[in-house]
Amino acid sequence: MFGLYGVVVGFGLSELAKWIGESRKDRDAVKSCRELLKIELARNAELLRRLWTEINESPVDTGHEEIVKCRLFIDKPYPAFSTRALESVFPMLTKALSVSEVRTVFDQYSRYEVISHIDDRLRALAREQSDAWNIASGGREFASMSPGFGSMPLRMFDRNAPRYWAELKVTVEQVLQSEELK
């Protein structure tokens, strides 16, 4: 009888040890998940902060500030914002973060997507404007204004820069002012 009792107690203790080990592994995984996301979000924010500071500290003539700032934005090397940590810990998000923290994380990453979209759109508009100018000027630095020359090209970049600058400004400020994971 005591032998059976020893087997049952031994089995129970071994299962308890396994459960404690698995709980510890889960806690460590949750902690690692949170830490990876904090590091990645902080790194992305720092890259953006550097770019944003560089753009805003550049001297700009008044009158066309948005156009010049948008040009600076696309002329500077675009930061390589990372999503690797988010992708690697995605299955653990619901265990590692509360619902509000998940929203915060996804809001932050979606803001980086908005910034990237604005960058892509501004680059495309700058190319279109440059190509149109090259066609209109015949490749010369200055276009002729002689009769029969035709109309000057539309300045789509210049026309759209204020709108994109306003959106970019709001989005970047949201990123830089957002709360970090605790």
The two structure tokens encoding residue 8? 């049952």
pLDDT at position 97, please?
A: 87
Tell me if 146 is assigned to some domain.
yes
Buried b (16+ CB within 10 A) or exposed e, 19-57: eeeeeeeeeeebeebbebbeebbeebbebbeebbeebee
Please state the domain count of the chain.
1
User: Alpha-carbon distance 106 to 40, whole Å?
Assistant: 13
Residue of 121, 29, 33, 119 whose CA lies nearest to 81: 119
In a domain, 109, yes or no: yes
Between helix 99-137 and helix 156-177 the angle, nearest 10°, is: 160
pLDDT top residue among 136 and 38: 38
In a domain, 52, yes or no: yes
Which residues make Cβ contacts (< 8 Å) with residue 11, sequence separation at least 6?
Answer: none
pLDDT band at 178 (very low <50, low <70, confident <90, very high): confident
In a domain, 19, yes or no: yes
* pTM of the shown model: 0.76
Q: Is residue 74 a part of any domain in this protein?
A: yes
> Is the per-residue pLDDT at 84 higher than 70?
yes
Q: Look at residue 182 and tell me if it is in a domain.
A: no
Range of the domain at 11: 2-177
